[in-house]
Amino acid sequence: MVAQCIGLNRRCDVIVSGKGTLMNCGREDCIEEGYIMADDHVISTTEAQAATAAISRICNSIVDSSTLGSSRLKDCVKLPRGEDRNEWLAANVTDLFKQARMIFGIVYDACTAESCQTMSAGARHEYFWTEEDGKGGQRIIEMPACDYIDYLLSAVGDQLDDETSFPSKLGEPFPPNFIEIVKSIVKRLFRIYAHVMTAHIEVIATLGAISHVNTSLKHFVLFIREFDLMKQEDLTPLASIIDRLLPRMTAAEVTQAVNAVTSTPPSVRR
């Protein structure tokens, strides 16, 4: 039977032994780049194609963007010339909300109160829900991830529908603290990616949706970096994945690039 070596950006056909154990595909680049081997979820090519078709119906907008490279995505998040910054932020945050909701939809059946008893992102990160306690303070509540995400999506949806925060009529003023509202929303939405990609990566792989989820995460990170909407430490739960998807230049590489530019004769520079 033919199964697949499931990686971040592609899959390699590999042979499954008689006992159903997935053998290493043997490609050096797969090994070096740390591609995920689906040891516990061996699926045939036919099953993978069927799963991919099913999941594409769930997240059409993500599927459409999955063919875009990082350079195209970088261009997509930049503020167009002449566009109002707040209008652009509002439109994109609404899109990020829809994408995060669809990402959770991929693993919805697998994320239950039994399988995910807390809203966590790996062993070191746990999130708690807070609400007013009726006495002027806040109550901290631990709850299953599925409930936390349902609450989160409902709360963010209400914010996006609030005309005082996100005016729908062109030309209406945004609130003075609009950027802080946006920062709060994207910080919350990231937690959905953090939980889904740390707790349910095997489900995503089995459904053939890794490239879709990766592209959505890349879009999210490029957008929040473009407008400085999140602190680097808030991205810690997915830091290794983000660094692989969107590698940053090292200090040495930055120095080398700067030297290359500054050493170019003025008459040649553009």
pLDDT at 259 (0 to 100):
53
Average pLDDT for 126-153: 90
Is 140 found in the same domain as 92?
Answer: yes
User: What residues form the annotated binding site?
Assistant: 111, 116, 195, 200
The residue whose two tokens read 């261009």 is 75
Whether residue 52 lies inside any domain: the answer is no
d(CA 159, CA 181): 9
pLDDT in tens, 49-59: 444 444 343 33
Confidence of residue 69 (pLDDT cuts 50, 70, 90): low
- For residue 111, the enclosing domain spans 58-248
Same domain (yes/no): 35, 93: no
What mean pLDDT comes out for the span 68-86? 81
Given pLDDT bands bounded at 50, 70 and 90, which one contains residue 211?
confident
Q: Which residues are 4's β-sheet partners? A: 13
Short-list 20, 245, 21, 3, CA closest to 12: 3
Least confident window among 65-69, 100-104, 159-163, 213-217: 65-69
**CA torsion sign, 43 to 48 to 52 to 55?**
negative
- Does pLDDT of 123 surpass 60? yes
Contact 270, 263 (CB under 8 A): no
Q: What pLDDT was estimated at residue 30?
A: 37
Give me the CATH number covering residue 243.
1.20.140.30
Coil, strand or helix at 37: strand
Confidence at residue 71, expressed as pLDDT on a 0 to 100 scale = 60
Please report the pLDDT score of residue 252 as a whole number.
Answer: 56
The burial class, CB within 10 Å (0-12 / 13-18 / 19+), for 254 is exposed
Q: How many domains does the chain have?
A: 2
Q: Is residue 254 a part of any domain in this protein?
A: no
Are 110 and 224 contained in the same domain? Answer: yes
pLDDT in tens, 186-199: 999 999 999 999 99
pLDDT score for 265 = 45
Q: Which residues are annotated as a binding site for Zn(2+)?
A: 111, 116, 195, 200
